[in-house]
Structure 1
Amino acid sequence: MPHTLPQALLHQARTRGSAIALRHKRLGIWHERSWSELARDVGQLAAALQERQFGRNDDLLIISQAHPEALLMALAAQWLGASVTLLDPDRDHRALLIGLRPRFVLVQNLDALQQLSGHSVIVYLDGRGLSQHLNANLIAYADLRTDAPAPPCARQSDATAFVFHAGSALGLTHAQLLADARALVAREQLSADEEALAARVFAASGQARYLLAPWLHAGFRLNFPEALATRDTDRRELGPTLVLGTRESYARLEHWVRERLPLPGTVSHALYHWALQPSESPVRRWLGHWLVRRPLLDVLGMSRLRVPLLVGPALSPQSATFFAALGIRPGHWQEPAARLEATDSMLSQSA
Structure 2
Amino acid sequence: MPTTFPRLLLEHARQRPDAPALREKEYGIWQTLTWAQLARLVRQLAVGLAQAGLTRGQHLVVVGENRPRLYAAMLAAQSLGAVPVPLYQDAAGTEFVFPINNAEVMFAVVEDQEQVDKLLEIRPQCPQLAHIWFDDPRGLRHYSEPGLQPLDALIASGAQQEAALGPSVDAAIEATTPDDVAALFFTSGTTGHPKGVVHLHRTLIDRAMAGARFDKLTHDEEVLAYLPPAWIGQNIFSYSQWLACGYVVNCPESASTVTIDLNEIGPTYYFAPPRVFEGLLTSVMIRMEDASRMKRWLFERFMALARRVGPARMDGKPVGSLDRMAYALGNLLVYGPLRNTLGLSRVRVAYTAGEAIGPDLFSFYRSIGINLKQLYGSTETAVFVCLQPDNEARSDTVGVPIEGVEIRLADNGEILIRSPGLLQGYYKNPQATAEVLTADGWYHTGDAGFLDAGGHLKIIDRAKDVGRIKGGANDGAMFAPKYVENKLKFFPHIKEAVAFGDGRDKVCAFINIDFEAVGNWAERRNLPYAGYTDLSQKPEVVELIRDCVQKVNADLAADDKLAGSQISRFLILHKELDADDGELTRTRKVRRGHIAEKYQVLIEALYGGKAEQYIETQVRFEDGRTGMVAATLRIVDTTTFPAMRSAA
TM-score under structure 1 length normalisation: 0.91
* Bigger relative contact order (CA 8 A; separation at least 6): 1
The CA RMSD measured in Å over matched residues stands at 2.3
Residue 255 to residue 200, structure 1, CA distance change in 2 (3 Å): same
After TM superposition, the structure 1 = structure 2 runs for residues 251-290 of structure 1, keeping only pairs within 5 Å, are: 251-263=278-290, 266-277=293-304, 278-279=308-309, 280=320, 281-290=323-332
Partner of 1:60: 60
| Residue 248 of structure 1, aligned match among 275, 278, 302 | 275
Amino acid at match of 1:282: R
1:130 to 136, 140, 151: 140
* Amino acid of the structure 1 residue aligned with 2:152: A
Q: How does 1:203-214 map to 2 (within 5 A)?
A: 203-214=230-241
1:161 to 160, 182, 206: 182
Q: 1:293 is matched with which residue? A: 335
Tell me the distance in 2 between the aligned counterparts of 1:77 and 1:256. Answer: 41
For residue 26 of structure 2, what is the aligned residue in structure 1? 26
Equivalent residue number for residue 607 of structure 2: none
State the alpha-carbon separation in 1 of the partners of residues 285 and 81 from structure 2: 47
Contact map agreement 1:246 1:344 (CA 8 A) in 2: no
Q: 2:203 maps to which residue?
A: 176
Separation of aligned partners in 1, 2:177 and 2:257: 38
Aligned residue number for residue 314 of structure 1: 356
State the Cα deviation string for residues 191-239 of structure 1 (Å, max 9, x = none).
1111111113632111222331111111111111111111110110111
Counterpart among 588, 597, 621 of residue 345 in structure 1: 588
Q: Give the match for residue 103 of structure 1.
A: 106
Per the alignment, do residues 210 and 128 of structure 1 end up closer, same or farther by CA in structure 2, a change over 3 Å counting? Answer: closer
Point out the more displaced range, 263-272 or 83-92: 263-272
Gaps of 5+ in 2: 190-194, 310-319, 379-444, 448-461, 463-583, 590-648
| CA positional deviation for 1:131 | 4.1
- Matched residue, 2:216: 189
CA gap 1:316/1:80 in 2 versus in 1, 3 angstroms: same
Q: Distance in 2 between matches of 1:262 and 1:177?
A: 45
The corresponding residue for 2:245 is 218
Q: Is the 8 A contact 2:17 2:36 kept in 1?
A: yes
Q: What is the alpha-carbon distance in structure 1 between the residues aligned to residue 176 and residue 108 of structure 2?
A: 23
Q: Distance in 2 between matches of 1:338 and 1:319?
A: 27
Q: State the match for 1:349 in structure 2.
A: none
**Which residue number corresponds to residue 90 of structure 1?**
90
- Which residue of the other structure, out of 228, 236, 250, is the alignment partner of 2:263? 236
Comparing 312-321 with 27-36, which one deviates more in the overlay? 312-321
> Are the equivalent residues in 2 in contact too, given 1:164–1:170 (CA < 8 A)?
yes
Runs of 4 or more consecutive aligned structure 1 residues displaced over 6 Å after TM superposition: 338-343
Amino acid at match of 2:110: V
SS at match of 1:259: helix
CA contact under 8 A between 1:3 and 1:155: conserved in structure 2? no
In the alignment, is the contact (CA less than 8 A) between 1:3 and 1:174 conserved in 2?
Answer: yes
Q: Distance in 2 between matches of 1:282 and 1:267?
A: 23
User: Distance in 2 between the 1:128 and 1:88 partners?
Assistant: 21
Question: Is 1:78 equivalent to 2:78 in the alignment?
Answer: yes
Query: The residue matched to 1:223 in structure 2 has which SS?
Result: strand
In structure 2, how many angstroms separate the alpha carbons of the residues matched to 1:319 and 1:251? Answer: 7
Equivalent residue pairs, number: 346
TM-score by length of 2: 0.51
For the 8 Å contact 1:6–1:75, the answer to whether it is kept is yes
Q: Which amino acid aligns with 2:268?
A: T
Q: Distance in 2 between matches of 1:234 and 1:251?
A: 18
Measure, in 1, the Cα distance between the counterparts of 2:66 and 2:446. 24
Shift of 1:263: 4.3
* Partner-residue secondary structure (3-state), 1:31: strand
Cα deviations by residue, 1:65-112 (Å, 9 ceiling, x for unpaired) = 111111111111111111111111111141441562321111222222
| Deviations, residues 154-177 of structure 1 (Å, cap 9, x unaligned) | 522122222222212222221111
Q: Which string of whole-angstrom CA distances, capped at 9 and with x for unpartnered residues, describes residues 13-61 of structure 1?
A: 1122221111111111111121111111111110110000111121111
SS of structure 1 residue aligned to 2:91: coil
- Aligned identity (percent) is 29
CA separation in 2, counterparts of 1:323 and 1:200? 20
Q: Which has the larger radius of gyration?
A: 2
Q: Distance in 2 between matches of 1:38 and 1:192?
A: 16
CA distance in 1, matches of 2:288, 2:23: 32
Stretch of structure 1 that moved more, 46-55 or 314-323: 314-323
Cα distance change, pair 323–205 in 1 and its aligned pair in 2 (3 A): same
Any idea what SS the aligned residue of 2:197 has? strand
Question: Residue in 1 aligned with 2:377?
Answer: 335
Query: Unaligned stretches of 5+ in structure 1?
Result: 347-351
Amino acid at match of 2:588: S
- Secondary structure of the 2:208 match is helix
Which secondary structure state, in structure 1, belongs to the residue aligned with residue 118 of structure 2? Answer: coil
Task: Look up the SS of the partner of 1:161 in the other structure.
Answer: strand
Distance 1:99 1:26 in 2: 31
Deviation string for 1:107-154 (max 9, x for gaps)? 222222222213430001222333453234011011112223331215
Q: Secondary structure of 1:139's match?
A: strand
Distance 2:64 2:142 in 1: 21
Picking from 226, 244, 251, the partner of 1:199 is 226
The answer on whether the counterparts of 1:313 and 1:334 sit within 8 Å (CA) in structure 2 is no
